[in-house]
Structure 1
Amino acid sequence: MSSNHPNTSQQLCTLFGEGITKDPSLLNESISICNSYHLSPNDLFYKWEAFAINHLPKGQTYNLHNARELRKLINSQYQSSLATPLKPSNTYATTTFNPSPGLGHILGIKTPKTPISNTGSNGVNSVNPFSTPSRSTYRPNSLSAPDQDVSIANLDTPSGLSLDPRSAVSFSSALSFQPLETLNSHLPLSGSGAQSLIDPPRSTSSSSSKAKQPSRVALAVGTDPKAWNYRYMFEKKGERSQVLDDRIDHFAALIRDVYNLQGTSADEIEFGDPSMPSQEPIYVVGRICPNMLPRNSANAAKIKAEKTSSAMTVKLEDGSEQSKESLAIDDPSGLPKLAETGVMLESSRMMGSGNRIPIFLQKGCKVRYGPNDPGSSPTVGLFPGMIVCMKGMNGGGERFGVEEILMPPPLPHAVTPREELLSNQFNPSKLDGKPINLLTASGPFTEDSNLDFTPWHRLMDEIERGGLPSTSLDSSSTSETLASGRRGMPDVVLLLGPFLPASHPELAMSDLFPSEIFRKHISARLQGLLERSPATTVILIPSTNDIVSAHVAFPQPYLEKNDEALGLPKRVRCLPNPCLFYINEVVIAASTADVLKDLRSEELIMRIENPPANAGNQATASKDAMSRLCRHVLGQRSFYPLFPSPPSSLLPLDISHSHLLSLPSVSPDILFLPSSLKHFIRVVDSTVVINPGRTVQSDSSNLSTNASPSSLASIQISAMSKSDLERGGGSEMEGVEEGLAHKVYERARVEILEL
């Protein structure tokens, strides 16, 4: 019996007394047990009475600890009842399956296993409408083979309630999949995608027919797997400092070439030391960092004493004064944050002996985001770890006055030869002029209250029925979509971790190992998807919060596909975190680290006094916080440009191997940055940046004012104009000599769908 009745809480309080009414956690746990195992409050009370008599000392009360122990017992009985596969029987066609054992089972009383049926007026037995449907009514791999066994691995949901996907009324029909945000809504939905085998033939040739269905797209990864198999927790201070220095020197050479910094005699301008006094403007390159205090007991005592004072400044042991804002003395982590009076520029050992110097923005300071940008922005965003080039001078030797900031521009976008584009997009054995269908979902995939993975199973149910529902049908949609009501089987399913968070509150109380939970819910459903749709490519990218990953440092290698405990299908592709890969010609990059949230918490917006009068595009773009944060990632050419990572992120950043976080050679056409912040779609410097949101919003994220509903991203990338490709491209298709630009931001319809 389902316990979703509105009076469930009242019934539990009546049965269990005042103890449960005074403990909200105990009440929530009791409701969770009823919902997970389809129990009524009366059933739960009877199970508690039997459990207390048989397993607890006399006088024990119903508390949170005992409720969790009772859950373990109910779960073990539930799993044992599912262990034996059910065979359909001609004699008992109406036999039902009860997922929760009754009171007699707990007390050791054997009850006859008779079918529950109703006899109608015509004398024909009918199924009891109040009974649980039999698992034998749904067979995901072969809907037309009644002589095959049905095992628990083939069920759609862990509760055992599954329905035929071909029926008119389905379990997931309540899922709306309404679009929350859309890019290029004028592009029509085609409903095309990988060809699926919804009802494969029963003959032995079915396996060969599956093998004859190649994928419509090609996956290419440009990374060396050996570079990711490093040992973490073996970093040395010398290695860390050398990596940080090398990054500054690398950007110095990059900025000199990009901005064409030449001297009066056509010689290269030497970058100066910002800590040395100078009477003429010089160019310097360094890393932004907060003002770090000398770590001594005297300063610590001063800060502690001034926490409750009304003064705006704190006088340190050496006699200097610092503002409370610059010291961030209210920060519980104890680490200072950037403030306008406490921004430092750290140079490399080669260019400035590693010295740090305070900086300030002069009146009318220019901010240039590229060599062709004249510099027009009333504000500038800075964060710890950001590498910039500054022009100014240090008149008194105490601080560096900035009159111009040169930001590193993003990498160029990839181009592809015209012949290759024609082959990828119009070859009859590949796309044949139809769009690429891409689906992206980010974990976690189960709620904090249970390990049932209900949202994950619902999502997979919809995909296996022919793709996600197309709820945004309009006049621009094609007849194929209008007829099926589906977006088509995806060519690529990109799944971003965490799949099973190590911080999940129910993990410690589970009777299964984490690998068994992953195998039961994730691997089994992926196996069913690939059997149903052999042309679909599945990509898994882990998270440092994944308990099934043996490597927890960031950057993080791929999941071990050969690990038998995980049970991943052979055709699943496991990629590292972060990574950049190609789907045909489209360059896609993804990272599961929440860099957007960390940047937003650490970024300092500095206003420029008397900004230039010609403030234009960059000034307008800087008002959009998400676009500005995405521009930081692309401009710094790193999936995680912050240093150090904020303590609140709990990200185990490995600095010695941070070169694996760099964008290798090109800017991606599509960049996935899943975050607990609100979902969004942005086009930043010709890159489509997508935050697909979370498949399941955690309890902590729901407390945020910017929390968004559970969501995922659906992307349809249309083909280019065939006539333009065949004749060499018109004025709009012109690219460099080596090939043509992809312009995915113009031909991709991106939708954030509510789950």
Structure 2
Amino acid sequence: MWVCCKKKRVCAGRQGSFLDSFKLANSTKLPTLRTPSTYRHHEHLAEKFGELPDEVMVELQNMLRIYNIDAEELFFKWEEYCLKMGEDIKLNLKNITAFKDDARDQFEIEMRVKSKSAQAPAARGPQRTAKNAGDVFNMLDGLTPATPRSSGPSAAKRKFEKAGYETPLAERTSKLAVGSSPVGPGPGFRTPGAVASIPFHSRPDPGKVMEVYNPSIEIPQLPLPDYPGYQSRVQFAALINPHKFQYKPMYQKLTMGSQVLDDRIEEYAAAIQDEHNIPNDLFCNPCSKLPEEVVVVGRIATDVMDSQKRSNEASLLLEASRGGGNGGRVRLDLSALKGYAFYPGMSVAFKAINPTGDKLIVKSVLDPPTYYGAGSKPEEMEEELRKLAAGNFNVFIAAGPYTTDDNLDFEGLTELVDKIVATEPDVVFLSGPFIDTEHPKVKLGDFPVDMNNFSGYVLEDLFKEKITSQLNRITKSMVLLVPSTRDAVSKHVSFPQDRFQRKLLGLQANVQLLTNPCMIALNEIQFGISSADILFHLNMQEVKATGKGIETNTFHRLASYVISSSHFYPLFPAPEASQVGYTTPIDLQWMRLCDFPRNIKPDVLILPSKLPGTVKVVNGVVTINPGFMSTTRASGTYAFMTIEPPTKILEEENVVPPPDPDFTLKHRIYNRARVEIRRI
């Protein structure tokens, strides 16, 4: 307890000599009672977190001082922690203590990465000795002989002969990961993801329905009576050309990438002109002096350089196309808007003025172009009705990861396949990652390899053992596999991404391999799907101010960005690994492959995300986030959808005399589908 009296401070209850007390009392480094600062921290934390118990508030204030951050950034870190845990977490002392431990682990990882990248070559000190001179710190896992180091071809041959074709043992890899090296992390270090997971058999509320869309539609008894299998009920058609995805990755030209970005602005300007009937003379260069209100078109950019900080209103810029403004950028003034929502890479059209040429004062935002939904001819709808004579069209939807970070047992996937085999749906959507490159055991190679069935490809053999073996149990359903850029077995490392290799993974004929992203038609119903977590990435980069005309539901707002842009990944640039925990490698010159075909909205849009699973109708599109099958430490969710045959549509649209040959009927899946988000 510190007692202050004029210029002297005496430490009450401190043991020691008077000289020690005098030194402490006059030290400039002595911590003092910063009452105004404490109150200021308390107010900022209460503004972000709400009123909290005193012990929780003290812990949060300590984190502000330790990491030298403000309350807003701490609140963002708390949101990321809640998303990572995959569950609703209360702000109590127990959870805040776990949050502090997690933040400390992440901070240690970042510091080690920075120190390694900034470390300069230093003079070597005296060499430590070890029992095995051939492998000083046992880093080669016993692959070298316990003899003095030798050189030459014979020595290399002996090492090669001694080393077996085997995966390093789990205890050895774990030892390396936890700091057996003298320059590695200390004994208190925990491997990322090494959080105690909830055992699958102890998971909370298995089978619980978390959310229902269109509960008035009844779920048919599954399997359907006399179900013949998917072959006679499902007609598959790809609406994109999958061969275009076989491009050469990591061969990106800057000129081609910049041209793609420029074309998107020009195409958006043309669409805005058609949508709002704007004459050419009203379009102006946003970077020039504009004393009168005109229309400007460009792409939202940001000048925030630190990847640890989020974009804000003051950091937003408008980048013009080369034809409409020489590719210049101008800062935005949004004070005249009652509400707004933007993200980097967003194509926008403003009514604005620029009196000085330095700042664009935005007066209003023009609505984006309207894109139409898919339709089919009456005879095609009648064919759909005949195919579904046995009952509703049933779909399962799930997204990886499929196992928690402490094991590679894939218990959630096994449980899901059990349900699929028992209910026999028509179609199953499964999106990656399957063998996740971010999984701790995959990173370390901490899994056994069956040498009796070794094909020469370790990770592909793991896929066949854990994934293919389960998929082969599904015989009466069509299985659609969508890869992820985090899939260790994918030959294509960038987004947009090519399909899996069927032969290498041993997949059977009822498995259809899709690109990432992809638009397909199952009978007359059009599905769009992408495994890139665009919803979470947009949520991290979005800059918004609630007000008139701004959607308050986060999922609805984020999904509308994708649909209104007619693009599966409208964000640019993609977030860095320090923001979302992994890298999304975007091949910019091929991003045209992410456009919706013919700018037609799909009937169903599947966007798996780290955000909680949900389903909503957005701009007439049934948009589904099934959630992840597994979080880092617990089981997750999946989606089930049942779609009624188009009986009512054909009855309502029975036109006499017959319509013209180009007449189409809207599918109206939002009226015919019931969707449930379920816990596995």
Q: TM-score range by the shorter chain?
A: 0.5 to 0.7
Mapped contact 1:407–1:635 kept (Cα < 8 A): no
Name the structure 1 match of 2:500: 559
Q: 2:364 aligns with which of 365, 384, 404?
A: 404
Q: Deviations over 1:450-473 (max 9, x none)?
A: 112111112212222x22xxxxxx
Mapped contact 1:180–1:754 kept (Cα < 8 A): yes
Change (3 A) 1:282 1:520: same
Change (3 A) 1:499 1:637: same
Q: Give the gaps of 5 or more residues in structure 1.
A: 1-23, 25-56, 58-64, 73-170, 198-209, 263-267, 292-326, 366-377, 468-488, 609-614, 703-708
Name the structure 2 match of 1:520: 465
Q: Deviations over 1:397-425 (max 9, x none)?
A: 11111112113235210111112111112
Structure 1: how far apart are the matches of 2:587 and 2:291?
40
Name the structure 1 match of 2:645: 719
Name the structure 2 match of 1:629: 558
Name the structure 1 match of 2:320: 347
Change (3 A) 1:727 1:276: closer
Aligned to 2:398, the other structure's residue is in SS state strand
Shift of 1:194: 6.6
Mapped contact 2:546–2:552 kept (Cα < 8 A): no
Name the structure 1 match of 2:294: 282
Structure 1: how far apart are the matches of 2:204 and 2:351?
59
Aligned to 1:282, the other structure's residue is in SS state strand
Q: Deviations over 1:685-727 (max 9, x none)?
A: 111111101111124xx7xxxxxx61100000012235x5157
Structure 2: how far apart are the matches of 1:66 and 1:222?
46
Mapped contact 1:554–1:653 kept (Cα < 8 A): yes
Name the structure 2 match of 1:164: none
Shift of 1:432: 0.7
Mapped contact 2:275–2:370 kept (Cα < 8 A): no
The structure richer in helix per residue is 2
The one-letter code matched in structure 1 to 2:293 is P
Aligned to 2:622, the other structure's residue is in SS state strand
Shift of 1:521: 2.0
Mapped contact 1:435–1:716 kept (Cα < 8 A): yes
Name the structure 1 match of 2:247: 230
Name the structure 1 match of 2:35: none
Mapped contact 2:369–2:564 kept (Cα < 8 A): yes
Structure 2: how far apart are the matches of 1:695 and 1:217?
26
Name the structure 2 match of 1:742: 667
Alignment TM-score, normalising by the size of structure 1:
0.59
| Alignment map for 1:435-474 (pairs within 5 Å) | 435-464=392-421, 466-467=422-423
Does 1:186 pair with 2:186?
Answer: no
Mapped contact 1:542–1:558 kept (Cα < 8 A): yes
The one-letter code matched in structure 2 to 1:340 is E
Aligned to 2:237, the other structure's residue is in SS state strand
Does 1:492 pair with 2:427?
Answer: yes
Name the structure 1 match of 2:572: 643
Shift of 1:338: 2.6
Does 1:600 pair with 2:539?
Answer: yes
Shift of 1:287: 0.5
Change (3 A) 1:574 1:258: same
Structure 2: how far apart are the matches of 1:236 and 1:727?
53
Shift of 1:528: 2.0
Q: 2:256 aligns with which of 230, 233, 239?
A: 239
The one-letter code matched in structure 2 to 1:640 is Y
Mapped contact 1:187–1:749 kept (Cα < 8 A): yes
| Alignment map for 1:149-228 (pairs within 5 Å) | 176-192=206-222, 214-228=231-245
Change (3 A) 1:172 1:740: farther
Aligned to 1:544, the other structure's residue is in SS state coil
Change (3 A) 1:584 1:277: same
Name the structure 1 match of 2:345: 385
Shift of 1:601: 0.7
Name the structure 2 match of 1:510: 447
Does 1:578 pair with 2:517?
Answer: yes
Mapped contact 1:410–1:636 kept (Cα < 8 A): no
Name the structure 2 match of 1:147: none
Mapped contact 2:237–2:520 kept (Cα < 8 A): yes
Structure 2: how far apart are the matches of 1:434 and 1:213?
12
| Alignment map for 1:609-688 (pairs within 5 Å) | 615=548, 618-619=549-550, 622-647=551-576, 648-649=579-580, 650-665=583-598, 666-688=600-622
Aligned to 1:341, the other structure's residue is in SS state helix
Structure 2: how far apart are the matches of 1:521 and 1:274?
55
Change (3 A) 1:521 1:194: farther
Mapped contact 1:555–1:660 kept (Cα < 8 A): yes
Alignment TM-score, normalising by the size of structure 2:
0.65
Change (3 A) 1:397 1:744: same
The one-letter code matched in structure 1 to 2:517 is P
Structure 2: how far apart are the matches of 1:66 and 1:457?
26
The one-letter code matched in structure 1 to 2:462 is I
Shift of 1:527: 1.6
| Alignment map for 1:129-148 (pairs within 5 Å) | none
Does 1:68 pair with 2:171?
Answer: yes
Shift of 1:661: 1.1
Mapped contact 1:289–1:338 kept (Cα < 8 A): no
Shift of 1:225: 2.3
Structure 1: how far apart are the matches of 2:464 and 2:473?
12
Does 1:338 pair with 2:311?
Answer: yes
Structure 1: how far apart are the matches of 2:267 and 2:281?
16
RMSD: 3.0
| Alignment map for 1:34-53 (pairs within 5 Å) | none
The one-letter code matched in structure 1 to 2:667 is H
Aligned to 1:509, the other structure's residue is in SS state coil
Structure 2: how far apart are the matches of 1:342 and 1:67?
48
The one-letter code matched in structure 2 to 1:693 is G
Structure 1: how far apart are the matches of 2:406 and 2:397?
24
Structure 2: how far apart are the matches of 1:187 and 1:441?
22
Does 1:420 pair with 2:380?
Answer: yes
Aligned to 1:528, the other structure's residue is in SS state coil
The one-letter code matched in structure 2 to 1:669 is D
The one-letter code matched in structure 1 to 2:610 is S
Structure 2: how far apart are the matches of 1:459 and 1:607?
40
Shift of 1:176: 3.5
Q: Deviations over 1:370-412 (max 9, x none)?
A: xxxxxxxx42111100010111111111111111211323521
Structure 1: how far apart are the matches of 2:664 and 2:235?
19
Mapped contact 1:544–1:554 kept (Cα < 8 A): yes
Structure 1: how far apart are the matches of 2:560 and 2:552?
12
Identity of aligned residues (%): 33
Shift of 1:231: 0.9
Change (3 A) 1:221 1:66: closer
Structure 2: how far apart are the matches of 1:273 and 1:581?
39
Mapped contact 1:410–1:634 kept (Cα < 8 A): no
Shift of 1:70: 10
Shift of 1:629: 0.5
Q: Give the gaps of 5 or more residues in structure 2.
A: 1-100, 102-145, 147-167, 176-200, 450-457
The one-letter code matched in structure 2 to 1:279 is P
Q: 1:529 aligns with which of 460, 474, 481?
A: 474
Q: 1:259 aligns with which of 276, 279, 293?
A: 276
Mapped contact 1:677–1:693 kept (Cα < 8 A): yes
Structure 2: how far apart are the matches of 1:644 and 1:172?
41
The one-letter code matched in structure 2 to 1:68 is E
| Alignment map for 1:115-126 (pairs within 5 Å) | none
How many residues are paired up? 474
Shift of 1:219: 1.1
